[in-house]
Chain A
Amino acid sequence: MNAAAGHPPLLEARALRVRYGPRDALVDVSLSVARGEWLAIIGPNGSGKSTLLRTLARLQRPAAGSVVLGGADLWALAPRAVARRVAFLPQAPDAPADLTIEELIWYGRYPHRGMLAAPAAADHAAIERALAWAGLEALRTRPLGTLSGGERQRAWVALALAQEPELLLLDEPTTFLDLGHQHELLALLRRLNAERGLTVVMVMHDVAQAAQYAPRMLALLGGCVLLDGPPADVVTSEHLATLFGARLAVLRDPASGAPAIVPAPL
């Protein structure tokens, strides 16, 4: 739609193939993400979700095909130039326990500063904005080791925000969080997407949760794109049977239309 209006997509993958040793992790994956979109990548274990995300983040070089960021080939750009536009949050990031939230977030300015440059006003402003978005102003001097799982994950999101990216890539950001913190984090992403216009691509394990928040879903199976569309089209019991090899029924919350997935009655 944006492309029709003359805007190139923010991110495009063209016929990606990624090999891990003898086998193909991605076979032929193409997708296009417009500025301001929120895409959830789902699929069974080993379907290539994380590999796709890592390839989009320039962490994995494709054997064939290309990733295009804002019209330029990702691998033709300098790593730091990419880092100023794309932030990647791995699944279980780890940092020294005595690092404070603020110290952690400052690393997000790394791509914007020289090795020895003193922090500029823009850096301080970015740190404050990131802290505010993540609701961490009051905890800024707390060491990571003293935080709850939800607070720590918000700190990592704040680190990504301090990078001031156009595109945020997250690998299963709700893993290891309890249900309350899972929704708190996804609500934060929703606000970032809606109010800040941040483009979000995330890998999600929980299909129902992904459907509840992301307006668009991409389902991978065996390294290929099986489905790409709005949750209502993607999350059906037939598709889930194909993807996960399990008999599942999809119920809809009458109020919100959000799907719930339960084992199908035999």
Chain B
Amino acid sequence: MAIAALRRRPPPAATIPLAALALLLAMTLAVALGSVRLGPVTVLDGLLDRGDPAARLIVWQLRLPRVLVAACVGANLALAGVLLQGITRNPLADPHVLGFSSGAGVAAIAMLLLAPGTPLAFVAPAAFAGSLASAAAVYALAWRGGISAVRFALAGVAVAAFGTALSTAVIASSDLFTQSALSFLAGGLFARDWGHVHQLWPYTLVAGGAALLTARWLNVFALGDDIARGFGVRVERARLALLALAALLTGSAVAVSGLLAFVGLVVPHAARLLAGNDHRTLLPLAALLGAALLVLADTFARVAFAPSEIPVGIVTAVIGAPAFLALLRTRA
């Protein structure tokens, strides 16, 4: 009894190593599949930078960077989704629905199209600024002496629509009405290389790590604002910090992937189904699942219709929409 009293119900932590394993398998599969199919030994040789030079080139220069970008984007969006669902106590919240992505998208696309020579390293900060601006707009529009989940969601939908319209306008008004601009709007990872990896991983590491540290805050938020305040949490301040973190995760992801829908919405719910509502488990699990999902989706986008490929955003939407409906039905 004394031992039982000293121990809280252990979190379903076993899901985390399993999800890590799934991510590893997904990444291996993604590196192996493509126009040239590589066996497991060749993949390993390529990763260790030995063996057939052609395979090494394919693994190191073509496939691995793209896989890493997909993993980082997936983790960022899934974490942003958990943060936003947690602070708004709204299961429908996600960076796409609430306009965080579209704000980032406007900034990124304006930079890519209107100032084509801009170094890659400036795109992510610009997208973060755009994401932060739309977050601020949503917050300001929803504020009325406090924030209600419903007003926050409605303001987010409005800002998202406005931002998407603005992105389309920027694309339509530029001379570069290109395939890549369209793939940006749908969300795509075509020809992502080490430059994109280097641009993204510090954000995933720092902002993702910071997100993992907010688990206890998010758990207290789940009990409602009044209870959280009653515990001495400075609710508004914490909420602003978490919103900024979600904007950082979203902005850096959008800067390299464009507007990917559904990842931030579906992955947190799937993680909840597996591991419950404790954010100490939920956050790392969602990050791993988001990474694995996007790696697999991007592999499908790359190989399913070879030699042409489709934007991965179409794959995530095709997986995401029915998955979300299924989640709604099982949870309602």
* Residues on A facing B (Cβ under 8 Å): 20-21, 54, 57-59, 78-84, 86-88, 90, 93-96, 98-100, 102-104, 106-108, 110-111, 115-116, 124, 127-128, 141, 163
Contact = CB atoms under 8 A, between A and B. Distances in A.
- For chain A, what secondary structure do more than half of its interface residues adopt (helix, strand, loop), or is it mixed? mixed
A210 B226 CA distance: 24
A14 to B, nearest CB: 22
Residue from the set B145, B226, B234, B278 with the largest chain A CB neighbour count within 10 Å = B226
Given A90-B226, A96-B277, 17 more contacts: A59-B226, A59-B230, A79-B232, A83-B231, A86-B230, A90-B230, A93-B224, A93-B227, A95-B222, A95-B223, A98-B276, A102-B9, A107-B220, A108-B231, A111-B231, A111-B232, A163-B231
B232 A98 contact: no
Interface residues of B, number: 23
13 contacts: A79-B229, A80-B232, A86-B230, A88-B230, A93-B226, A95-B223, A103-B8, A107-B219, A110-B220, A111-B231, A111-B232, A124-B6, A128-B5
B94 to A, nearest CB: 19
A20 B227 CA distance: 21
Given A98-B276, A102-B9, A128-B5, A79 B234 contact: yes
A59 B228 CA distance: 10
B233 interface: yes
A107 B219 CA distance: 9
Contacts of B232: 78-84, 110-111
Given A98-B277, A99-B277, A141-B9, A93 B223 contact: yes
- For chain B, what secondary structure do more than half of its interface residues adopt (helix, strand, loop), or is it mixed? loop
Contacts of A102: 8-9
A84 to B, nearest CB: 8
Contacts of A96: 222, 276-277
A163 B238 CA distance: 21
Counting from the closest, the 10 A-B pairs by CB-CB distance are A80-B232, A83-B232, A79-B232, A88-B230, A96-B277, A90-B226, A110-B231, A111-B232, A83-B231, A95-B223
B216 interface: yes
A132 to B, nearest CB: 11
Contacts of A86: 230
B224 A83 contact: no
B182 to A, nearest CB: 41
